[in-house]
Amino acid sequence: MSKKDKIILAIESSCDETAAAILKGNLHTSKPKFRVLSSVIKSQITIHQKTGGVVPEVAARAHIQNILPVTKKALSDARANLADLDYIAVTAGPGLVVSLIVGVEFAKGLSLATGIPLVPTNHMAGHLYSAFASAPEKVKFPVLSIVVSGGHTMLILMKDYHHFTVIGETVDDAAGEAFDKVARLLTEENYRGGPQVSKLAERGKTDLKFTRPMLHAKNFNFSFSGLKTAVLYYMDKLPKPVSTQQKADIAMSFERAVADVLVTKALRAAKKYGCKTVSLSGGVAANRHLRQTLTIACKAEKLNLNIPELELCTDNAQMIAIAAYFKLRGGFKPVGPAKVKANPHWELRAS
Ligand code: KG4
Ligand code: ZN
């Protein structure tokens, strides 16, 4: 890469993963050009599984313990020193405030000590841009982006890398939240059980044809709380004990309903706005059935499809580095520590 390459350290601590990554990229090439040199994640999932949810103080304490070793490892994996860095990107929101504060204050401390400026970055922008981690120069716009995480479900229309609008959102539960709640009903997993629902669904045989909430609504919003209730009512009516096969059928039917609504509405939006590409990202993008359904639908409609590698779907700092890279390319002027504050309700709306 050219001499003009810049090096970004990214720090992510918005929920239950402490992560750091290093990206090297050119901010001035006509097409985006970057390489992720390292990415380190220290997960807290096993800690929070014990309590069936995040106890904020426990999460914050684990972030405090992990943030320095994780950052050091990201630097050493990239064979970089602090002196090599041009920018420090940090997730400033949305997220759990006490978790965010750890990353933000750590980044501010580093910035104060070294003079390296900061790029406060939105966590959902991270998920959005994670879909463009490989071959970003080849992406054909407009892009219709589906971002599905534990806290958000969004359809985003991207005119280019720097201009986007959120055109649809969930009116109640996020897709990941619905997976997690259904996991509590069907599996032993009481925290972030989406992958377990997905695993159980693989053994499903009968489609119970659960409701497809808001499928026919004229807007691009979603609702997943009714679907979770449909699962609950269905379970309640079954004679006990509910067999593993019955649970697998429920999991499969639930997963199909979620994928059906997401894919149908996303493709409708893609058609309406003349999109050339669809992208899928966020934790729920790790779901195999959703990936397959979207792949088949995009092929049928001759749409390009960008789905990140599995490791880029759930929370990580690579995606924060990539979002910061695009933010800088878009003209954002990095700031000093006094200008950065954790903002747990930082909404991604438009750019
Ligand atoms: O993006 P993410 O790591 O964190 C947030 O920003 O929320 O998303 C986590 C969500 C959780 O709800 C988790 O259960 C869900 O993504 N998830 C999955 C799968 N892997 C993670 N849901 C369905 N199938 C999966 N394979
Ligand atoms: Zn996330």
pLDDT tens track of the chain, all 351 residues?
A: 555 899 999 999 999 899 999 999 999 999 999 999 999 999 998 999 889 888 999 999 999 999 999 999 999 999 999 999 999 999 999 999 999 999 999 999 999 999 999 999 999 999 999 999 999 999 999 999 999 999 999 999 999 999 999 999 999 999 999 999 999 999 998 889 999 999 999 999 999 999 999 999 999 999 999 999 999 999 999 999 999 999 999 999 999 999 999 999 999 999 999 999 999 999 999 999 999 999 999 999 999 999 999 999 999 999 999 999 999 999 999 999 999 999 999 999 888
Q: Of 158, 112, 163, which Cα lies nearest the Cα of 266?
A: 158
From 48, 49, 181, 192, give the residue whose CB has the most ligand 1 atoms within 8 Å, as the site to mutate.
Answer: 192
| Shortest-distance ligand to the CA of residue 282 | 1
Q: How far is 276 from 312, CA to CA, in rounded Å?
A: 23
* Amino acid 75: pLDDT: 98
* Amino acid 53: pLDDT: 86
* Amino acid 43: pLDDT: 92
| Shortest-distance ligand to the CA of residue 259 | 1
- Check if 204 has its Cβ closer than 6 Å to any atom of ligand 1: no
**pTM (2 decimals)?**
0.97
Please classify residue 88 by burial: count the beta carbons closer than 10 Å to its beta carbon, then call 0-12 exposed, 13-18 middle and 19+ buried: buried
- Check if 314 has its Cβ closer than 6 Å to any atom of ligand 1: yes
* Amino acid 2: pLDDT: 53
Q: How far is 303 from 314, CA to CA, in rounded Å?
A: 24
For residues 207 and 257, the answer to whether their CB atoms sit within 8 Å is: no
For residues 16 and 51, the answer to whether their CB atoms sit within 8 Å is: no
Residue closest via CA to ligand 1's atom 8 equals 283
